[in-house]
Every structure is written in C-alpha cells, then in structure tokens.
C-alpha cells in the first residue's frame, strides 16, 4: 500500500487536537495524512495496570526539563495515537471569562484575542459531542453555557468525607465536570468506577480520542501513519509558505510529506521544538518565529496536594475515577487568596489512588520507608483521602521551550523546557496548601499533611494574539508568518487559568478546524 504523494493537509501529531482536526478536515472532503512517532494504540492495548501504563507516555527522544520549578515532562506527555489524551483523566472544566482578560483587568500576564463568549458555542457543541457528565447548577462558579448532556458521575466515601470540610467552612462543592459517561451515550458505555483511567480507559466511557474524533477521522478517510517522527517544516516557494514536513519513518528513513496545509498538533512541547528546528529557506530563526516568541510563555499549573486520614471510615479511595469526584472554585478570582498570591485556584477532590505509581498511595508519603512504609500502607489504602489544588502559573517570557544540545531522530536537536513559577504563582500554591489543611482538618481528618508542590498540564509556547509582533498565531491558530500553517493544542493559550486544559483545547481546535475548512487557504 502506498501513501499519496501529496495531501490537502498533513497533521503532525495524532493526539487530542490532531484527531479533531483530522475528523473535521476529512469530513469536509480534504485528503488528510496524520503523522505520529508513537504506536497505533488500540483500546485493547489499555491493560489495567499502573506499571503497564508507563508505555503510554512519551517514548521518543528525551525531553530535558530544568528551571527552579522544573516541569514534569515525562509524566505529562503522551505518544502514539491518542497522545496524552489517551490516558488523560477527563476532568473538563471550562475556562472562566476572567482568564481571557487578565492583562486588561490586572495589568498582569496577557490577554486572549477572543473572549469567553467567542468560545462558548464551541464548548457547548463539544460537550454534546463527547458526552460530559456534571451538574451545571451545582457549579455556582460556572460561566454561561448549556447544561451538561449527562447527570454527574457517582460519588464515593472519599468525596463525601472531603466535602464535609468545605461545608464546615461555608465553602461549596459540586460534582466535577467530567468527560466520562455517567450513562450510556452514543453507543459508548457508562463508567464502572474502577479508577483505571490513568492506564487508559478501554471501555470507551472516558472521552479519549480513540472513541471520539479518531473513528470519525478514519471513517472520513484520514490516513494515520505511526512510527513517523516529524523533524521540521519544509520551506515552500516563499518564506510565507510551507511545502510540507520532513519526518523519519519507523525504518529510520528520512521522508517528506507534501501538503497544501500543515497543521502542527504535536503537543505544547513538540510544536515549538519543530518550529525552532525548521531553519530551512528564509527561516533562519525558525519557522513562524518573526516575533521571537516561539517557545516563549510556556506555562503549567502548580499542584498543592493535601492528605488526611479518616480512620473510622472506609474512604474507598480505590473507587471512582482518576480525575476527581468533586470540585470547588471559591478562590478562582485572581486576587482572592490575598497575601501576595495572584492567580486562580481550583480544587479537585477525591481522585482514585492505586497503591503504587506516582499519584498512588505509597508516594503520598515519599519520606517513609521500611517498616514505617508498611504500616502506613496498611492504614492508608483504606483510610486515606486526598484533594488537589490546581494553581495558575502566570505567563512569563523567560519560561520556554528551547532546543537542547542533544539530538534525536534525523540529527535534529531535542527540546528542553525551562520553567520557574512567578513568586505570585508560588504563593497561590502555598496558600492553597494552607487552606487545604484547614479544610481537611475542619472535615475531621486526622494527621493532615501537604505534599511538595508539583506541576501538571502544559500550555503556552505558541501563544495566540492579535498582533504578529506579540504572538505566534491568530485566534484560529493560523501562523502570523506562514499562510498555510496552523498550530493546535493548549500551546495556543496566552494564559493558563487554573482549569484542566483539554476542554478548551477541543473548543479551540473545533473553532480553528471549521474556520480552516470553510476558508481553505484563503
């Protein structure tokens, strides 16, 4: 079987954004080729084991991570069909209107070139398409939008016990908005609450690309080529066009995929790395980089983890979903934490904990070892509860994806992520830990403690904006510099908010893909 010599669109990356673009473009009649270096994962590969699930993470050339608050690249990146979204947890809150106007409102960070209202119809359509479960009314913080198509997921003891603390302090809780089915929906089955989402949900209850946009893309004729590591964009006839992309296939052979339109959807880290490594033709600073901002404003969320024991109760912490059972957003206001903290905070309560793994029970007290660890495990597997405070990281010019001195396939330089939180963002996480301890204590937990600050999610690096001087793309993800280049993914976000990014990622990708299909190359 041969691949076509040339396609209307070549899409780099078969993850969340790549599959959505592939579906929309192929359904609009375009010929589409999707390249991804990782395996062609199938649902049947998603074996319920935390150990097995390591293979779903990035397996290509190593990503260096540095800075005072180095980003957890190995944990946060995916590879192969489905990308990180294959094993993501399906916690899908919308951004808030205030996330789009931070600079205008507070003189800090950046503004988006669009408002929440521009994105709202796309959020509404995506939630209908993939099936979101939640309780819009109980989420008193939620911005305007259609109610969820499905009722909330079931809650277990851990969530109920943690909610007690919030209620004791007059704080609200609501079921987390989840891209996981509480009821059968569009031929996919309801969740079974076994908490294996981190190993990938093979039943189709969780909206990973294998059950959402990938089948649509394949049905509409999009071709997927796995084992294809894209190294750079190939310059076109002028500096304002790309002829296609160069990639190294699974045999190590260098190849070119020519296309009228190039869509970079290879993740927040790989997109800027590919652009920076594309120095052919007139692109001496990298492709699409006249602003010098490719790779800049890389952002992540801080995580404050707060734990406590409920000794008299079975917390059922092994039941539920890996994401969260309930949420609180009382401190989403950028200045609401006070004490010099600036940025939003979102609580996620009661994720499932398996005994082992990075987010598992044994890691909750990494300082314990030997007989103390054994005793801790005996108690914790039935009585521990945890909640995570996701804190906003401000967009800072100096936080970046750059090229390292190491090389990967094709001799191309591999990415390095440099990240240090702004002092105000560190304070968000510190305040969250303090607040969390107060809450869990008010709920009656014994011996509460807060874990060290961690990082989750990746945004920025190819930010959108209204001016070519101060951003990399327009609001549809179109490069300001290269007419037939579109960038997709949370790398477009100019601010990170404190919300898990994948719902906004989908809403933006749908908006960008439909715009591209409707005005093809115009």
Ligand X SMILES: Cc1cc2nc3c(=O)[nH]c(=O)nc-3n(C[C@H](O)[C@H](O)[C@H](O)COP(=O)(O)OP(=O)(O)OC[C@H]3O[C@@H](n4cnc5c(N)ncnc54)[C@H](O)[C@@H]3O)c2cc1C
* Contact region with ligand X (CB under 6 A), list: 103-111, 265-273, 371-379, 474-482: 265-273
Do 167 and 326 contact (CB within 8 A), yes or no? Answer: no
CB nearer ligand X, residue 319 or residue 341? 319
Q: From the CB of 22, what's the least distance to ligand SF4, in Å?
A: 24
The total of other beta-carbon atoms located within 10 Å of residue 171's CB is 17
Q: Does 321 bind ligand SF4 (CB under 6 A)?
A: yes
Q: Token pair for residue 164?
A: 């007690």
* Of positions 185, 196, 224, 310, contacts ligand SF4 by CB under 6 A: 196
Binding mask 278-317 for ligand SF4 (x = CB under 6 A): ----------------------------------------
Partner touching 327 among ligand SF4, another protein, ligand X, none, CB below 5 to 8 Å by kind: none
The total of other beta-carbon atoms located within 10 Å of residue 312's CB is 8
Cα separation, 440 vs 161, whole angstroms: 9
* Of positions 476, 500, 508, 516, contacts ligand X by CB under 6 A: 500
Q: Does 194 bind ligand SF4 (CB under 6 A)?
A: yes
DSSP calls for 283-311: -TT-TT-TTS-TTBS-EEEEEEEEEEE-T
Query: Residue 403 — φ and ψ, nearest 5°?
Result: -95, 135
Query: Residue 492 — φ and ψ, nearest 5°?
Result: -80, -20
Q: From the CB of 88, what's the least distance to ligand X, in Å?
A: 3
Torsion of CA 492, 493, 494, 500, to 10 degrees: -160
Q: From the CB of 248, what's the least distance to another protein, in Å?
A: 10
* Contact region with another protein (CB under 8 A), list: 104-112, 187-195, 343-351, 497-505: 187-195
Q: Does 289 bind ligand X (CB under 6 A)?
A: no
Q: Token pair for residue 329?
A: 């957003």
Q: Is 432 left (phi over 0), alpha (psi -120 to 50) or beta?
A: alpha
Cα separation, 25 vs 16, whole angstroms: 15
Q: Token pair for residue 282?
A: 């007139």
User: What is the Cα Rg of the chain in Å?
Assistant: 22
Strand 32-36 and strand 6-12: pairing?
Answer: parallel
Q: From the CB of 406, what's the least distance to ligand X, in Å?
A: 14
Of 128, 127, 129, give the one whose Cα is nearest residue 93.
127
CB nearer ligand SF4, residue 44 or residue 518? 44
CB nearer ligand X, residue 6 or residue 57? 57
Q: From the CB of 369, what's the least distance to ligand X, in Å?
A: 26
Partner touching 358 among another protein, ligand X, ligand SF4, none, CB below 5 to 8 Å by kind: another protein
Cα separation, 346 vs 336, whole angstroms: 12
Cα separation, 302 vs 198, whole angstroms: 19
Q: Does 396 bind ligand X (CB under 6 A)?
A: no
Q: Does 132 bind ligand SF4 (CB under 6 A)?
A: no
Q: List, in sequence order, the alpha helices (H) in 112-227.
A: 116-130, 157-168, 213-219
Which 215-254 residues touch another protein, going by CB under 8 A?
224-228, 249-251, 253
Partner touching 489 among ligand SF4, ligand X, another protein, none, CB below 5 to 8 Å by kind: ligand X
Do 418 and 402 contact (CB within 8 A), yes or no? Answer: yes
Q: Does 103 bind another protein (CB under 8 A)?
A: no
DSSP state of 169: T
Q: From the CB of 255, what's the least distance to another protein, in Å?
A: 6
Partner touching 255 among another protein, ligand SF4, ligand X, none, CB below 5 to 8 Å by kind: another protein
Cα separation, 89 vs 123, whole angstroms: 18
Q: Does 375 bind another protein (CB under 8 A)?
A: no
Which 249-308 residues touch another protein, going by CB under 8 A?
249-251, 253, 255-258
DSSP state of 53: G
Q: Does 79 bind ligand X (CB under 6 A)?
A: yes
Q: Token pair for residue 94?
A: 């919308």
Size of the site for another protein (CB under 8 A): 74
DSSP state of 83: G
CB nearer ligand X, residue 179 or residue 435? 179
Q: Does 477 bind ligand X (CB under 6 A)?
A: no
* Of positions 112, 193, 247, 309, contacts ligand SF4 by CB under 6 A: 193
CB nearer ligand SF4, residue 135 or residue 402? 135
Residues forming contacts to ligand X in the complex (CB under 6 A) are 12-18, 35-38, 76, 78-80, 83-85, 87-92, 229-230, 265-267, 270, 274, 323, 457, 489-490, 500-503, 505
Residues forming contacts to ligand SF4 in the complex (CB under 6 A) are 180, 191-197, 201, 203, 205-206, 321
């Amino acid at each position: 079987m041969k691949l076509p010599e040339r396609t209307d669109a070549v899409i780099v990356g078969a993850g969340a954004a790549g599959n959505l673009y592939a579906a929309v473009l192929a359904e609009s009649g375009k010929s589409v080729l999707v390249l991804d270096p990782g395996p062609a994962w199938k649902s049947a590969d998603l074996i319920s084991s935390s150990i097995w699930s390591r293979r779903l993470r990035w397996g290509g050339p190593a990503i260096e991570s540095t800075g005072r608050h180095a980003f957890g690249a190995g944990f946060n990146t995916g590879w192969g069909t489905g990308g990180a979204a294959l094993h993501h947890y399906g916690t899908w809150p919308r951004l808030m209107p205030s996330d789009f106007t931070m600079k205008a409102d507070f003189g800090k960070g950046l503004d988006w070139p669009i408002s929440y209202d521009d994105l709202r119809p796309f959020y509404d359509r995506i939630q209908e398409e993939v099936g979101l479960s939640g309780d819009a009314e109980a989420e008193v913080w939620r911005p305007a939008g259609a109610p969820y198509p499905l009722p909330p997921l079931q809650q277990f003891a851990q969530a109920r016990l943690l909610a007690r603390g919030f209620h004791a302090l007059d704080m609200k809780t609501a079921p987390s908005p989840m891209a996981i089915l509480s009821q059968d929906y569009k031929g996919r089955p309801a969740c079974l609450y076994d908490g294996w989402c981190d190993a990938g949900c093979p039943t189709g209850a969780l909206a990973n690309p294998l059950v959402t946009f990938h089948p649509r893309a394949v049905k509409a004729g999009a071709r997927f080529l796995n084992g294809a590591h894209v190294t750079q964009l190939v310059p076109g006839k002028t500096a304002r066009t790309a002829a296609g992309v160069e990639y190294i296939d699974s045999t190590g052979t260098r190849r070119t995929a020519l296309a009228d339109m190039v869509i970079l959807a290879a993740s927040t880290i790989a997109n800027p790395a590919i652009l920076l490594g594309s120095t052919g033709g007139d692109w001496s600073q990298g492709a699409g980089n006249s602003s010098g901002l490719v790779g800049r404003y890389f952002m992540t969320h801080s995580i404050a983890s707060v734990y406590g024991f409920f000794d008299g109760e079975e917390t059922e912490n092994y039941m539920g979903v890996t994401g969260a059972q309930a949420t609180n957003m009382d401190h989403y206001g950028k200045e609401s934490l006070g004490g010099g903290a600036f940025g939003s905070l979102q609580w996620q309560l009661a994720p499932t904990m398996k005994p082992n793994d990075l987010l598992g029970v044994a890691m909750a007290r990494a300082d314990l070892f030997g007989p103390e660890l054994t005793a801790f495990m005996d108690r914790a597997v039935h009585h521990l509860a945890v909640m995570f405070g996701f804190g906003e990281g401000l967009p800072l010019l100096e936080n970046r994806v750059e090229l390292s001195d190491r090389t990967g396939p094709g001799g191309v330089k591999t990415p390095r992520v440099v990240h240090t939180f702004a002092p105000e963002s560190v304070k968000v996480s510190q305040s969250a830990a303090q607040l969390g301890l107060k809450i869990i204590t008010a709920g009656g937990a014994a011996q509460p403690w807060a874990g060290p600050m961690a990082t989750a999610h990746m945004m920025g690096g190819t930010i959108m904006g209204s001016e070519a001087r101060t951003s990399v793309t327009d609001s549809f993800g179109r490069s300001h510099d290269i007419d037939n280049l579109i960038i997709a993914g949370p790398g477009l976000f100019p601010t990170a908010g404190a919300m898990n990014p994948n719902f906004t990622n989908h809403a933006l990708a749908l908006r960008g893909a439909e715009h591209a299909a409707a005005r093809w190359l115009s």
